[in-house]
Amino acid sequence: MTKGLIIQFRRGRRTQTPRHYLIEVPGIDNREKATKLVGKEVFWKSPGAEPKIIHGKVAAAHGGKGVVRIITEIGLPGQAIGTELEINDKADKSEKSEKAGKK
């Protein structure tokens, strides 16, 4: 498991995309390293007595400094900005099922 930091919503000048987030991963400092994370599964665990887990997927690299963009199944709360999430180093479920179907 790799940890990442949620740094911002993906946004434009007047809009923000509620399910898209920008993530900074320690040790990833350029676009080439960031593209190796594309397709990996991520999950964020809410703080509290009964933590809620929200799943997502790394969609693309964002810029040239190693930031990646993720898309979650539902939007994260605003308090999630500045918190950590985990990136699963293994391939996600859809890639595994596609590989199994080809055999």
Handedness of CA 41, 46, 49, 50 (dihedral sign): negative
Q: From first to last of its 103 residues, what are the pLDDT tens digits of the chain?
A: 899 999 999 999 999 888 999 999 999 999 999 999 999 999 999 998 999 999 999 999 999 999 999 999 999 999 999 999 999 987 655 555 455 555 5
Name the residue type at position 3: K
Indicate the domain borders of the chain: 2-102
Q: Residue 30 and residue 33: Cα distance in Å, rounded? A: 6
pTM over 0.85: no
Q: Where are the extended beta strands (E) located within 26-83?
A: 40-45, 53-62, 67-72
Say which CATH class 2-102 falls into: mainly beta
